[in-house]
Amino acid sequence: MPTPQTQQNDKNMVYELGNLALMSDALESETGQNGLNRALQIISVLQTTLDSDALIEIFSQEISVMIPHQSILYEHQTQGIRIEAGTPAKHSCSYQLSAAGQSLGQLIITRKKKFNLQETMLFEHLLCSLVYPLRNALLYRGALTAALQDPLTGANNRAAMNSAVVREIELSRRHNTPLSLIALDIDLFKQINDEYGHTAGDYILKAVVERISECIRSSDMLFRYGGEEFTILLSNTDKDGAMLLAERIRSAIYTSSYRYGDELIPTSASLGVACFNSEDTAKTLFERADMAMYDAKNSGRNCVKFTATN
């Protein structure tokens, strides 16, 4: 059962997965048949989605009649989830959710008026309607992430890139905004594998992803296209911005030290940039970025090139 902890007149507690039958009995005794019917309706509505963002917003809307509040915040640090709705207010109830020892994140509701004991008890019962759908949504989100993520480097994978480029091209066309793509290939990577071993090669791949991630914005999308080749998709970015970022990435990779065991492994990358035009498809945009990258390799490696047209 939850153990309350008082913090600045707010409620902060760990909430373990509850028993829905016990919840029903408690709600009926505390709020009557109307309260129980409302809770059962909430359970039914929450089971209609596996989208964690939608789930939290639906839960907030559904409980607002029984427990008025100004805002709701849900965070799950492991999965990098932060969902906010409404305007935060002075008083809050905070809950660390878990099920069978598995953390489901933290849920906080706030409002201007302090929550009374009856409301917090009611909220605790209503949380029973959320934890099952939330656990399922987190499992679903985790499965989707795994399917679209390169397991070695943590970058998005080629399947994720294919769908992202199509989506961003459509947005660029609709809003008439610039879109750029950078193709990046680690120079002489086969030689690194041959000389230092494949585990050293894996280390270089992960280190290069770290350098790229330190350079790009949160809105930029990094993908491992295959082997030692990566792409960075830059929404709302023109040629000048893309070339500037590509040079920053090139410099960061080249000037970093890569020590594996007792060996210091020299590493650089060749980068190609292409910008979306009205005639482009996902295929042609990538082909032009790839062509520019091979131009960089043919020009001595460790440089950035741009290709305007096929």
- Annotated catalytic residue, options 228, 247, 263, 287: 228
Under 8 Å between Cβ of 267 and 252? no
Residue type, position 72, single letter: I
User: Could you tell me the end-to-end alpha-carbon distance of the chain, in angstroms, rounded to an integer?
Assistant: 65
Whole-angstrom CA distances from 223 to 2, 77, 170, 183 are: 42, 22, 19, 10
Place of tokens 């970058």: 155
- CA-CA distance, 228 to 226, in Å (whole number)? 6
Place of tokens 């509850």: 18
Q: Concatenate the DSSP letters of all residues of 149-182 into one string.
A: B-TTT-SB-HHHHHHHHHHHHHHHHHHT--EEEE
Angle at 162 between CA 156 and CA 201, to 5 degrees: 40
Whole-angstrom CA distances from 190 to 94, 158, 200, 264, 270 are: 52, 21, 11, 16, 14
Dihedral Cα 55, 20, 43, 95, nearest 10 deg: -30
Residue type, position 111, single letter: R
Residue 287 bears catalytic tag: no
Task: Note the Cα 80 to chain centre separation in Å.
Answer: 6
Beta pairing, strands 10-16 & 221-226? unpaired
Give the residue numbers marked as catalytic.
228
